[in-house]
Amino acid sequence: MKGIQISQYVSGPQDMKVTTLSDPVPNPDQYTIAIHATACNFYDLLQIRGKYQHQPPLPWVSGSEFSGTIIATPSSPSPKAGGSWKYKKGDKVFGAAQGGYAETVCAVEQQLRPVPKGWDFFEAAGLFITMPTSYAGLVTRCNLKAGDWVLVHAAAGGVGLAAVQIAKALGATVIATAGTQHKLDVAKRFGADHLVDYKDEGWPQKVKQLTPKGRGVDIVYDPVGLIDKSTKCTAWNGRLLVVGFAGGPIEKVPTNKMLLKNISIVGVHWGAYSTNEPEAIVEVWDRLFELFESKKVRGTNFLDKEYVGLEKVPEALKALGERDTWGKVVVKVPQSGQAKM
């Protein structure tokens, strides 16, 4: 197969090369999937430099999120009652497993979900991480309900556009922030009610003025690192959600601000649910599939430019790292024969 293998850490995506590799050998409990589309993530940029929290032993194939077709099922008996595996050969799936920048990948059942009805491989490739992160953050952690006012920072990003759509689908009013007019327009296209440029130093006051009687927002969704400033426009009993630190520095927030407004600051670490709270995963995905199939939530694929072929992965990752994209950047992976897109 073709794939992008990391034999030694590189300085950036420009050093990534597509080569011919041996097909991956699945463990007895793994499926083998022919990849039709693969999504780019910020953590891929960290991992290829050796700076991510999960670093496989060298050499390893880069990438993780993907969509594709099952070409082989596990060789071991299923541990479930009845002894049958969930997926069969030919099933369309999306998921995440180490090695997404390749034509073939191996994954266990928990790392896969069926492609939603009416969705194609391109749309499904970027679902596995961003959508449940946003749903779990807004609903499981912040108890979002109809009528809430929600501030979504970096709203045109992958998790941001997921959060905008989920909040709107559940009856909230959404204020979206971004740093360019184009990205604000994208957030509007995906359902945001109000738009604020967070490069304007006075953005907290503008957000507050948009809310009824200037009371502030009920929920702040923050993948950037703007919790401290967001306390200025948060309502009494507000919930501030820490999703990540795409802005760079990790904040230190004065705790008196939580006390004065009865504010809760919570985090969401979706990847850790599998070991700490696996029962929550099923609930989140069940609710998400209802939203997918009712068309209240759609794919957030970056469409300003098309990337076709694994050779385009470095270019796509470079654009992502330079903040030149919005939504989920997905690379189509043409396959030979029946696996072709």
Q: Which of 79-83, 122-126, 324-328 has the lowest mean pLDDT?
A: 79-83
Question: Cα(first)–Cα(last) distance of the chain, in Å?
Answer: 16
Average pLDDT over residues 243-269: 89
3-state secondary structure of 181: helix
Mean local confidence (pLDDT), 9-32:
96
Q: What is the DSSP letter of 170?
A: T
Q: Cβ distance 271 to 278 under 8 Å? A: no
Q: Nearest-CA neighbor of 270 among 253, 288, 294?
A: 288
pLDDT at residue 339 tops 60: no
Domains and CATH numbers, the chain: 2-127+299-332 (3.90.180.10), 142-267 (3.40.50.720)
Q: What is the pLDDT of residue 53?
A: 80
Decide if pLDDT at 60 tops 60.
Answer: yes
- If you ran DSSP here, which 8-state letter would residue 301 be given? B
Confidence of residue 341 (pLDDT cuts 50, 70, 90): very low
For a pLDDT cut of 90, what percent of the chain falls above it?
Answer: 89
pLDDT-based confidence at residue 158 (cuts at 50, 70, 90): very high
The string of pLDDT tens digits covering residues 281-292 is 999 999 999 999
pLDDT for residue 340 is more than 70: no
3-state secondary structure 60-125: EECCCEEEEEEEECCCCCCCCCCCCCCCCCCCEEEEECCCCCECEEEEEHHHEEECCCCCCHHHHC
Task: Give the model's confidence band at 247: pLDDT under 50 very low, under 70 low, under 90 confident, else very high.
Answer: confident
